[in-house]
Structure 1
Amino acid sequence: MGYYAFRIIGALIILLTVWAVTFSRGLLVLVMVLAVPSILQHLFFHPHSLGMLPFINRILSIGFDLIIIAIISQHIFKTEQPNSETIFGALCIYLLLGFTFASIYSAISNRVQDAFYLAPTLNHHAIPDRFDFIYFSFGTLTELGTPGITAVAPLARSISLLEAILGVLYMAVLLSRLINAYRGVETSNIGREEKIYAARRGSRE
């Protein structure tokens, strides 16, 4: 029951994502087209489904995630002065990166046999599922490690290395820079308000 509830919630999140990026009218049609395979993947395709159709569906789902990341990134970089919305957008991109790489790992596992190894002492199943790939992705992205699951295929190892580097650079460069700029804007606003208050108080005296 919980498994199917999670899949339905995932499909609803995709619909909310489409609604959230309606500010980009030019790419709205493309986003809606790519959202259909992503919803189908969450509702109908089993995580262990093999064959060309599930693989193509996963690729289109990855394309949907990348388009959403690109749209939000463009919206963030267009903002001259960072605000709370900009910070939340940057955090959403970070989370989307984790889910996107999880979909990439799932696609690799679909095409490459034994691309990932699950330690039998830490897992009750032998074939990795969607939850395992999410766990592996965010463990790699945050540099926390992923006990119990290991990338074995060279392609899977290369992608995981890329994700680890991207996660470190994202947190160290982009997100920290946005937060510092946001603090600077808030400090300048507070200083401006204090000057206005002091000027008004001086004029009254």
Structure 2
Amino acid sequence: MPMTDDEIREKYLERAIRELNTLTQELQSCPRCPRGNLMPVLGSGHPQADIFLLKHAPTPSEIEEGVAFYGRSGTALMKSLKRLQIDPLAVYGTLCVKCPVADTELADPGCMARVAQEYAIVQPKIVVVMGEDALALLNDLELPLSRPVDAIPGVVQKLTPSVDALFVPDIDQALDEESAKRAFWSAFKMLGTWYADLPPY
């Protein structure tokens, strides 16, 4: 008896959860970055999200909790998503530098390249890349069929034939200064337009 669409989706979700759990275990046991006893900061959100948020490095609150987008940036993003009428369950967020190292230059390039594994597991429809450091990593990953994304805030670009990209300023640098907040919002609100135009499932 053939599987229904719901059963097929459930199988894909189970696989994504399993693969993210495996990646988590690999990250937690990875000896490459000089992080001492601190644990890596893990991605969070839906394992098959349409929207993949990518930020460069963790803040102290993210390091303390071990979760990407925990703290002020997460709160600001949740408010922004609500304002844009985007379902938070459609979002997965992660970091390029997952290990809490004193200087991001100390992060192992192989560890940062694990973003490609997360991207392959989640299979998003858009990558929202925050800041020029995160953009440089995304472009260096050379994802299958990808083309370079330009640092043009608020413009939806093609990352691959089936995945879009949106460059926005780094949210962590946009929280304390009014003009920086406006610049972030001006670019990020394009995600609302993109999301509203998504075809229904």
Q: Which has the higher strand share?
A: 2
Larger Rg: 1
State if a TM-score over 0.5 links the two structures: no
Q: Which has the higher helix share?
A: 1
TM-score by length of 2: 0.30
